Amino acid sequence: MSESSRPIFSEFELLGRTLRNRLAVAPMSRVSATDDGLATNRMMRYYREFADGGFGIVITEGTYTDENASQGYDRQPGIANQRQANSWAPVASAIAGAGSLAIMQLMHAGALSQRQSRTGRVIAPSSVQPRGEMMPEYGGSGPYRLPMAMTASDLAQVREGFVAAASRAKRAGFHGVEIHAANGYLLDQFITEYTNLRDDEYGGCPSARIRYTAEIVAAVRKSVPVDFVIGVRISEAKVNDFNYRWPGGAAEGEMIFTALAEAGANYIHMAGEGRGFRESISGKQEPLTALARQVTGLPVIANGGLHDPDLADAAIQGGHADLIALGRAALATPDWPLRIANGDPVVPFDHEMIFPNASIENTSAWFDGYSSFPHPAGKRISVGYPLSNSHVVQ
């Protein structure tokens, strides 16, 4: 079998569009926007590199939805106003122009906001001190702040923020949005038992805890054309709690997936935060991605340690998922699909690429020192991060 005939390179139909392969770039916060949340030229070049590198879908980093309390990090991009939307138009056009599906991830950080909001408020379903500490990669340190429980007007305002952000993303040229309900951020705080202590219709049993996310999906669905893709990202684990698993197990998963499908989601993306997909498929239970496929019939994206092409193929072939999202592997090798298809070597991810922070500049600096790393001779690595667009690797 030639490398290019791997299952991950087969086409896939998503909402009437043919994707050239099953590979997506996972959303990755790069804290590289301007102080007022505008996407930059450098970000455009960074995103275009993935599309040029052959990914069927490029999902942007988590982008904040409103100007009140949604922003998580300094230098995080937003789509909360028209200027920010305008700054994204060249990014969407670069991705689409290179033949990839352009999806913007919409994110409200909730209690995991690491910065002082314009309103000075940190909001969450309930006033519960988040576990863990702020992440230095995104410019934070020390404990998270104690959030305020969202009022009825907060609920309406945040929901409206997602709706308006999705419409702006549409007008900026994106093919769709991915609603971030994973990894411990606002919507996941609603879904998670210990961060949601509400006694209204949004708290209590799992079907109440998924209600707010489902309402947002339905509200966005109503406000965009039918061919505009709406994905939802879900996870059990969180950036600040790798060990959380849904207390109700697979039954809780079924409830969540069904509610999202009924609300009008077009795909489900299971984030692999805290565990790899190999662990998922080798466990006693069927992977949650397979469960999501079965109960919803929707396309499902698997993620988490899927940079081994054989494992990624197995996830597709075994019916565990329809699409594969790569995070760190894509960050280290933006043209991963082309390289794998051609049998060329890839650059292994190194944590130093996102340390001391996850900015594009920092990764660029890492690549500046890369030629000293052992690597097959004579290979030119195009990484997109530095202004010079190629590196000769010794």
Q: Residue numbers of the site for ligand FMN (CB under 6 A)?
A: 26-29, 61-62, 105, 180, 182-183, 233, 271-273, 303-306, 326-329, 354, 358
Which residues partner with 57 through β-bridges?
24, 101
| Phi-psi sector, 147: left (phi>0), alpha (psi -120 to 50), beta | beta
- Least distance from ligand FMN to the Cβ atom of residue 305, Å: 4
- Least distance from ligand FMN to the Cβ atom of residue 233, Å: 5
Rounded to 10°, the helix 82-97/152-171 angle is 40
- Which of 27, 206 has the CB closer to ligand FMN? 27
Residues comprising the chain, all counted: 394
State the residue for tokens 């466990």. 283
Q: Specify the DSSP class assigned to residue 369.
A: T
- Which of 205, 232 has the CB closer to ligand FMN? 232
DSSP secondary structure string, 5-27? GSGGGS-EEETTEEESSSEEEPP
Write the CA distances from 249 to 197, 252, 255, integer angstroms: 19, 5, 10
CA-based radius of gyration for the chain: 20
- Least distance from ligand FMN to the Cβ atom of residue 215, Å: 20
- Least distance from ligand FMN to the Cβ atom of residue 28, Å: 4
Encoded tokens for 214: 């489902």
Which residues partner with 73 through β-bridges?
none
| Residue 315 to residue 309: CA distance in whole angstroms | 10
- Least distance from ligand FMN to the Cβ atom of residue 256, Å: 16
- Which of 148, 338 has the CB closer to ligand FMN? 338
- Which of 34, 127 has the CB closer to ligand FMN? 34
- Least distance from ligand FMN to the Cβ atom of residue 98, Å: 21
Closest CA to 12 of 258, 266, 280: 266
- Least distance from ligand FMN to the Cβ atom of residue 199, Å: 29
- Which of 51, 302 has the CB closer to ligand FMN? 302
Handedness of CA 293, 289, 258, 111 (dihedral sign): negative
| Residue 203 to residue 173: CA distance in whole angstroms | 36
| Residue 301 to residue 325: CA distance in whole angstroms | 6
- Which of 203, 361 has the CB closer to ligand FMN? 361
- Least distance from ligand FMN to the Cβ atom of residue 205, Å: 26
- Least distance from ligand FMN to the Cβ atom of residue 248, Å: 23
- Which of 28, 123 has the CB closer to ligand FMN? 28
- Which of 201, 306 has the CB closer to ligand FMN? 306
Q: Specify the DSSP class assigned to residue 86.
A: H
- Least distance from ligand FMN to the Cβ atom of residue 394, Å: 26
Encoded tokens for 117: 């909001």
Residues 26/326, Cβ–Cβ less than 8 Å: yes
- Which of 40, 127 has the CB closer to ligand FMN? 40
- Which of 48, 180 has the CB closer to ligand FMN? 180
Helix (H) or strand (E) holding 314: helix 309-317
Angle, vertex CA 200, rays to CA 197 and CA 202, nearest 5: 70
Helix (H) or strand (E) holding 176: strand 176-183
- Which of 19, 326 has the CB closer to ligand FMN? 326
- Least distance from ligand FMN to the Cβ atom of residue 235, Å: 8
Write the CA distances from 287 to 108, 165, 244, 248, 299, integer angstroms: 27, 32, 16, 15, 15
Residue nearest to ligand FMN (CB): 327
